Structure 1
Amino acid sequence: MADIVQINDTTWRIEDNGVRFFLLAGTDKALLIDSGMNTPNAKDIAEGITKLPIMLLNTHADPDHISGNGSFDYFYMHPDEEDNYRAHGGLGTIVPVKDNDVIDLGSRPLKIIFIPGHTPGSIAILDINNRVLISGDTVQDGNICMFREGRNLLTYVKSLKKLSMFTDDFDTIYPSHGSFPVSPELIERLIEGAEQIMSGTVKGKIIDIFDTSAMLYKFPYAGFICDIPE
């Protein structure tokens, strides 16, 4: 069962067995950011928190972020993520968002930042007035999935470097996995770790995950699960 944790008067996180998603309220409407792994009732959960009209935005379309999408006739997602969404059986109408778009909930503007790499259409959301970055899976201190089709470590590093250009605009990061919250300083550490993996200067260990083998590179601040080098 999901646990609802109130962050402040207009922000909640919903903890769903290792993944979290968020509800943000403005003066006019509210936005779910992702819909969980085991929460097909994500919309009902949100409606139990606020009486505002509720929209849905997905940071990306891995299965642990879309379980409640089916309750929405339409939702926001980057168009480069549609193939990933449909491959996991996702239904409904995608309203595309792109880099630098702003969704305003009423006195609460949210800026879309396109950060591919973890998946082709991953995005982050900058809660401008509250100086918070909601990072999806891209920035976290858990094990970041970078193996199998659709993952690109070089693109991921470029996206992290892009996020580092926004660090004057946020004070804290709300990730979908791992510790909550995390510091913006984690971005530079993740860049360093990913670059060490690409340069072959760090050793990993083979693990079994999702009925396959992958390489885990573990750092003090996070881990990366990558394809086994050929």
Structure 2
Amino acid sequence: MANIIQINDTTWRIEDNGVRFFLLAGTEKALLIDSGMNTPDAKQIAENITKLPVMLLNTHADPDHISGNGSFDCFYMHPDEEDNYRAHGGVGGILPVKDNDVIDLGNRPLKIIFIPGHTPGSIAVLDINNRVLVSGDTVQDGNIFMFKEHRNMSLYVESLRKLSMYTDEFDTIYPSHGSFPVYPALISSLIEGAEQIISGTAKGKVVNLFGTPVMLYKFPYAGFLCDIPEDKK
């Protein structure tokens, strides 16, 4: 069962068995950022918290982020994520968002930052006035999924470098997994680890994840779950 935790007067996090999503309220509207893994009632959860009209935005379309999408006729998502969304049975209409778009909830502007790599259409959300970055799966201290189709480690590093250019605009990061919250210094650490994996200098071990053998590269600050290199198979 989802656990609702109030962060402040206008922000909530909903913890859903290892993944979290968020509800942000402005003066006119509220926005769910993702809809959880086991919460087909995500919209109802939000409507029990706020009387404002509730909209939905997805940071990306992995199955643990879209369980409640079916309650919305339409929702915000980057168009490069549609194939991933439909492949996981996603329904409803996509309202496309792109890099630098701003969604204003009423005195609460939210800036979209396009950060492909974890998935083709991953985005982060900059809560401008509150100096918070909602990072999806891209920035976290858990084990970051970078195996099987749709993942691109080189693009992921480019996106982290892009986020590092915004670090004077946020003080805190709200990730979808791992510890809550995390902080901007984590971004440079993730870049370092990802580059070691790309260069082949990182040491990993084969682990079994949901019946799939993958390579886990574990660093002090986070882990990466990747495809097993050909020379290790």
Fold conserved (TM > 0.5)?
yes
Aligned to 1:59: 59
Aligned 1:1-230 pairs, distance under 5 A: 1-230=1-230
| Unaligned segments of structure 1, at least 5 residues | none
Deviations 1:153-175 (A, max 9, x none): 00000000000000000000000
Residue aligned with 1:162, SS: helix
Deviations 1:180-199 (A, max 9, x none): 00010000000000000111
Mean CA deviation greater in 206-215 or 35-44:
206-215
Q: Which runs of 4+ in 1 moved over 2 A?
A: none
| Displacement after TM superposition at 1:43 (Å) | 0.3
In structure 2, C-alpha distance between the alignment counterparts of 1:179 and 1:106, rounded to whole Å: 29
Amino acid paired to 2:85: Y
Residue aligned with 1:48, SS: helix
| Displacement after TM superposition at 1:211 (Å) | 1.9
In structure 2, C-alpha distance between the alignment counterparts of 1:70 and 1:89, rounded to whole Å: 10
In structure 2, C-alpha distance between the alignment counterparts of 1:170 and 1:132, rounded to whole Å: 5
In structure 1, C-alpha distance between the alignment counterparts of 2:24 and 2:184, rounded to whole Å: 21
In structure 1, C-alpha distance between the alignment counterparts of 2:160 and 2:26, rounded to whole Å: 28
In structure 1, C-alpha distance between the alignment counterparts of 2:129 and 2:202, rounded to whole Å: 39
In structure 2, C-alpha distance between the alignment counterparts of 1:212 and 1:32, rounded to whole Å: 32
Aligned-CA RMSD value: 0.4
In structure 2, C-alpha distance between the alignment counterparts of 1:171 and 1:183, rounded to whole Å: 7
Deviations 1:33-74 (A, max 9, x none): 000000000000000000000000000000000000000000
Q: Percent identity, aligned pairs only?
A: 83
In structure 1, C-alpha distance between the alignment counterparts of 2:17 and 2:214, rounded to whole Å: 23
| Displacement after TM superposition at 1:210 (Å) | 2.4
In structure 2, C-alpha distance between the alignment counterparts of 1:225 and 1:212, rounded to whole Å: 11
| Count of aligned pairs | 230
Residue aligned with 1:225, SS: strand
Residue aligned with 1:159, SS: helix
Amino acid paired to 2:150: G
Residue aligned with 2:156, SS: helix
In structure 1, C-alpha distance between the alignment counterparts of 2:209 and 2:154, rounded to whole Å: 22
- Normalising by structure 2, report the TM-score: 0.98
